[in-house]
Structure 1
Amino acid sequence: MHAWPASEVPALPGKGRDLRIHDTATGGRITLDPGPVARIYVCGITPYDATHMGHAATYNAFDLVQRVWLDTKRQVHYVQNVTDVDDPLLERAVRDGQDWTELAERETALFREDMTALRMLPPKHYIGAVEAIPGIVPLVERLRDAGAAYELDGDVYFSVETDPHFGGVSNLDAEAMRLLSAERGGDPERPGKKNPLDPMLWMAAREGEPSWDGASLGPGRPGWHIECVAIALDHLGMGFDVQGGGSDLAFPHHEMGASHAQVLTGEYPFAQAYVHAGMVALDGEKMSKSKGNLVFVSKLRRDGVDPAAIRLALLSHHYRSDWEWTDQVLADAVERLGRWRAAVSRPDGLPAEALVEEVREALADDLDAPAALAAVDRWAERQNAEGGTDEGAPGLVSRAVDALLGVAL
C-alpha cells in the first residue's frame, strides 16, 4: 500500500530542541533522545468513513513530532497502518450494499487526499492489515506454541497473564479495563476465556466474511492488536521511540499490543513513550463514526475552506486536550491565516530569529502548539502595525511556520 506525497520541509538556520513529551505509561513528561533515526508508529484509520476532525487532530499531533525531530537534524522512520479488514468496515459495507474492499480502497484514497491537503508528512511505510497477514500468522503461532495463547471454539486468544508488565501502559484497574474492553471491540463476557480481558489474536472464518489461510491456525483473519504489533516489529523493531494514537487507544489497543510484543520478544518496553492525542467533540459529544456527529476534512475542502486554515484550527488546541469543533474555531483560524499572510507578504519586516527560537521551544515543550501560534501572532501583529527593515524576516517566518507547524503561507 502506498502513502501520499511529501511536502517539502524547509531547512531553518540553527537546530531544534529535543522533544519533552507526556508519556501515558509513566504519567509524566520524558525527554526523548532518539538516535540519528527517530522511530515512530502511529495507528491508522479503519477506512469506512474518513477523515473527520478527530482523525485530523490526531495525525496533526504526530506530524508535529516528526517536524520537531527533523528540526534537530535527525531522520524520521515513521510507520502507519490501515485496518483494512475489521468488523466496523464489514458492517458498513453490508449496510450500504457495497463490496468491503471497494469501500476500504475508496476511503483510504480519500484519507490520502486529506493528508496531502493538510501537509501531513507521510509515513515511510504505510501498511494495510490484509497485506500484513503473512507476517501476522507466524506471530500468533509462536504465542500459541509458547503457551501465551489458547484456542476457544477455533478462535485464538492471547493470555494477558503471561505478560508481567500488562497494565503498565494505561495504568487502569481491572474493572475499568473490563468496561473499556466491552466498549472498544473486546468480548469480556465470552464464556470459556481464561481472563475476561484476553484479546483475540485470530478469528476463525465466519460464514459470509472474508478469511485467509492461517496455516496451522486454520482459515480466518487477525485480531486488531496483533496487526499493529506485526507491522511495528517488522519495520521498527522493539524499543522504538513513540507509539502514538488517540487517547481512546491507550486501552485496549496499545496496552494489548505492548503485551503481545513483550511476550513475543522477551524484551521490554515495546515503545519508549506512549503518546495520546485528545478527543474532538461536536455538539457536546465526542466526534465518532458510530454516533455520526462528524465534520469531514473533505467536506470542508469541497466548501472552499483553505486547508491551511483547517490546520491552524487544529493547532489552536493542545494535542492532549479534549476540545469541541465549532464554526467559531474555524472562523478564528481563517482570520489568523489572513493576518499571518498579510504579515509575511511585506518586502521586509521585524527581525524574526527570536521568533523561530520561541516556536522551537514551545513545540519541544510537549508540542505546545497554542504557545507557538501565540508567538507568531505577536510577531504578525507588530509586523502589520509597524513593519521593519529586515529584508529576510518575512521569508524566515514563512519558512519556519511551514517547517515547524506545517502551514503554508
Structure 2
Amino acid sequence: MLKVYNTLTRTKEEFKPVVPGHVSIYVCGVTPYNEPHIGNARPFVTWDVIKRFLRKLGYKVKHVQNFTDIDDKIIRTANEQRVGWKDISDKYIAAYFAVMDKLGVGRADIYPRVSENMVDIIKMVSGLIKKGFAYELDGDVYFSVEKFHGYGKLSGRKLDDMQAGARIEVDDRKHHPMDFALWKSAKAGEPYWESPWGKGRPGWHIECSTMSLKYLGKTFDFHGGGSDLIFPHHENEIAQSQAYCCDDHSFARYWLHNGFITINQEKMSKSLNNFFTVKDILAKYPAEVLRYFLVATHYRSPLDFSDERLKEAEAGLARLKNAQDNLNDLCNTAKDGDGSTVQLVQFAQDAKKGFYDAMEDDFNTALALANMFDLAKKINIYYQTVTAGDTAADKDDIEKVVAVYREMTDILGILQADKQEKNDDKIVNALMDLIIAVREDARHNKDWATSDKIRDDLKTIGIIIEDSPTGARWKR
C-alpha cells in the first residue's frame, strides 16, 4: 500500500488516485534565466524516481511541468545582455534539458509555457473578478485573500500574522497587505499582452493554476516542488484555484515538497558565492554520481552539498557497480540447472520486498538503497565463493537475481550508463575480448612481461583487468 506525506494535511496518507489506475502530476518548473543549479535538480530527479516507481506499480502517469518563460529576472537578464526575453528563456530551457538528460531525468508529457497560455490566464483572472475574489486597480489585478476562507491552510500561517511574500511588492492601494497580483500592468520597455485591464503580463502564481487546471482538470493527484514554494506560491495557487472552481476539495489532492539543499551546511546563495550549477558539477563528477547523491537521501530531508559528500556518493555508487559487475560475470560463467544458487535468489527476493516496502513508505529512497546494499554484499560474498572454486552458480538462478537488481537500479535511475555502454559500444566490447584473448595466450605461454604490460597499459586509460579462476574480465 503506497503512502505519501501530504504537506496539506501534515500526515502520511494512503494514496488513492482520482482515476483508478492513473496518476496525474503537476510539478513547478524552472524560471529559465540562468543555468540550472543543484537546487533545481533535486525536485526533478525526485519526481523522475517517483514516476518510475509509480509505473512499476502499474499506474499510467501523466506529468505536466511548466516553464515560467516571462518573469522579472528574465527581463532583467535580457536587458543586461541586450537581447529579447524569448532569446533568454529559449536558451536556458535548452540548458535545462541538456543537464536533465545527462541526469537521466525522463521528459514530462507536457511542458507548457506562460507565454503560450495567455488567453487561458486572462480567462481565469476575469473569472476570479466576476466571482468576487479579485479586484482591479489601475491596470493591476489582485486576489483578495480575505475573501478566501481557507487561506493559509497549506503553510499553516495565520493571515493576521503574515507579511508580504516573495515577488509581491507592498502596495498601499491593496485591500489587504497579503493580496497578491494576478495581473500586472506593463512598465515602460517591458513585454506585454493585451487584456481587459490594459497592457500587462501575469503575476507569478496564476500561471501554475491556469496550466494545471487546463492540462490535468479540476482535480488531480500530485502537486510537487521545493519546500521554498509552500509559501507564498503554492498557498496562493490553492486559494485562486479553489476560488475559481468554487470547491474546497478541488485542485491537487496530495502536496509533496522536497527539502532544501545547503552548501557546506550554509544556505545556498549567490551572495555567499556558494551557488553551483549542474553544468559545473558535471564537469567534475559523472552525472550518475550526482543523481545517486540526490536519491541517497529521503526527498523531504535537507541535503548538504559538498565535495566530500559527492566523493562519498561516488564511493557508494562504485560499491553497487562492483556488485553489478560481479553479478554479470556470474551470469556469463554460470552453468545450467544445478540449483546451487537458490539461497542467493532468496536474498534477492527479500531485498526486493524491503526495497518496495521502503518506496511505498513515502518514496523512501534512502531505505530502498539500504536494501540494495544488503543484496550487493550477498552478491559479492557469493561471487568470491564461485571464483575461489568452492561452489558453482546456477544460470537460471543468477538470471533471477540479475532481474531483481536491474529492477532496483531502473527505479532509482542509477547504474544505467553501464547498460547503455554495453548496448551502444559493441566495437569496444569486441576489441576488449580480442585484447583479453591475446593476454590469455601470453599467460598460457608464460610470457608474463607481455601479460603485465597489457594489464598495466589498460589501467592507465581507465580499464581494469581482473583475473580469477574462471578467467579474466574487464571493467571501466
TM, length-normalised to structure 2: 0.77
Q: State the match for 1:286 in structure 2.
A: 267
1:361 equivalent to 2:341? Answer no
Q: State the match for 1:123 in structure 2.
A: 108
Match among 168, 181, 187 for residue 186 of structure 1: 168
Higher helix fraction (1 or 2): 2
Q: State the match for 2:444 in structure 1.
A: none
Q: Verify the 8 A CA contact 2:209 2:241 in the aligned structure 1.
A: yes
- Could you list the per-position Cα deviations for residues 343-383 of structure 1 after superposition, in whole angstroms to 9, with x for gaps in the alignment? 11232473222222211111111121111111111211222
Instruction: Report sequence identity in percent.
Output: 33
- Residue 385 of structure 1 deviates from its aligned partner by 2.9
Q: State the match for 2:143 in structure 1.
A: 158
Q: State the match for 1:240 in structure 2.
A: 220
Q: Verify the 8 A CA contact 1:288 1:294 in the aligned structure 2.
A: yes
- Residue 228 of structure 1 deviates from its aligned partner by 0.4
CA RMSD of aligned residues (A): 1.8
- Residue 175 of structure 1 deviates from its aligned partner by 5.6
- Map 1:373-392 to 2 at 5 A: 373-387=369-383, 389=393, 390-392=397-399
Aligned partner of residue 398 in structure 2, secondary structure: coil
1:265 equivalent to 2:272? Answer no
Match among 181, 204, 223 for residue 224 of structure 1: 204
* CA gap 1:288/1:121 in 2 versus in 1, 3 angstroms: farther
Q: Verify the 8 A CA contact 2:352 2:371 in the aligned structure 1.
A: no
Aligned partner of residue 276 in structure 1, secondary structure: strand
Q: State the match for 1:13 in structure 2.
A: none
* CA gap 1:290/1:233 in 2 versus in 1, 3 angstroms: farther
Structure number, greater radius of gyration: 2
Match among 158, 176, 186 for residue 205 of structure 1: 186
Q: State the match for 2:278 in structure 1.
A: 297
Q: Verify the 8 A CA contact 1:19 1:69 in the aligned structure 2.
A: no
- Residue 403 of structure 1 deviates from its aligned partner by 2.7
AA in 1 matched with 2:206:
I
Q: State the match for 1:3 in structure 2.
A: none
Count of residues in Structure 1 that have an aligned counterpart in Structure 2: 386
1:71 equivalent to 2:71? Answer no
> Which of 192-201 and 117-126 deviates more?
117-126
Measure, in 2, the Cα distance between the counterparts of 1:19 and 1:117: 29
Q: Verify the 8 A CA contact 1:168 1:255 in the aligned structure 2.
A: yes
Match among 322, 327, 342 for residue 302 of structure 2: 322
Aligned partner of residue 345 in structure 1, secondary structure: helix
Aligned partner of residue 279 in structure 2, secondary structure: helix
Aligned partner of residue 200 in structure 1, secondary structure: strand
TM, length-normalised to structure 1: 0.90
Q: Which residues of structure 1 form unaligned runs of 5+?
A: 1-17
* CA gap 1:200/1:109 in 2 versus in 1, 3 angstroms: same
> Which of 317-326 and 96-105 deviates more?
96-105
Aligned partner of residue 333 in structure 1, secondary structure: helix
Measure, in 2, the Cα distance between the counterparts of 1:178 and 1:39: 33
Measure, in 1, the Cα distance between the counterparts of 2:38 and 2:297: 12
Q: Verify the 8 A CA contact 1:238 1:267 in the aligned structure 2.
A: no
Measure, in 2, the Cα distance between the counterparts of 1:87 and 1:223: 10
- Residue 314 of structure 1 deviates from its aligned partner by 0.5
Match among 35, 39, 42 for residue 57 of structure 1: 42
Q: State the match for 2:15 in structure 1.
A: 32
1:133 equivalent to 2:114? Answer no
Q: State the match for 1:310 in structure 2.
A: 290
Measure, in 2, the Cα distance between the counterparts of 1:193 and 1:165: 20
Measure, in 2, the Cα distance between the counterparts of 1:385 and 1:341: 15
AA in 2 matched with 1:202:
W
> Which of 279-288 and 311-320 deviates more?
279-288
Q: Verify the 8 A CA contact 1:149 1:158 in the aligned structure 2.
A: yes
Aligned partner of residue 257 in structure 2, secondary structure: strand
Relative contact order (C-alpha < 8 Å, sep 6+): which is higher?
Answer: 1
1:195 equivalent to 2:180? Answer no
Q: State the match for 2:428 in structure 1.
A: none
Aligned partner of residue 127 in structure 1, secondary structure: coil
Q: Verify the 8 A CA contact 1:59 1:120 in the aligned structure 2.
A: yes
- Residue 265 of structure 1 deviates from its aligned partner by 0.9
Measure, in 2, the Cα distance between the counterparts of 1:292 and 1:166: 36
Aligned partner of residue 178 in structure 1, secondary structure: coil
Measure, in 2, the Cα distance between the counterparts of 1:59 and 1:307: 14
- Could you list the per-position Cα deviations for residues 47-84 of structure 1 after superposition, in whole angstroms to 9, with x for gaps in the alignment? 11232111111112222221221111010011000001
AA in 2 matched with 1:396:
A
- Residue 106 of structure 1 deviates from its aligned partner by 1.2
- Could you list the per-position Cα deviations for residues 154-178 of structure 1 after superposition, in whole angstroms to 9, with x for gaps in the alignment? 1100111222222111111236531
Q: Verify the 8 A CA contact 1:177 1:252 in the aligned structure 2.
A: no
* CA gap 1:250/1:313 in 2 versus in 1, 3 angstroms: same
Q: Which residues of structure 2 form unaligned runs of 5+?
A: 332-340, 387-392, 419-476
Measure, in 2, the Cα distance between the counterparts of 1:289 and 1:356: 42
AA in 1 matched with 2:236:
M
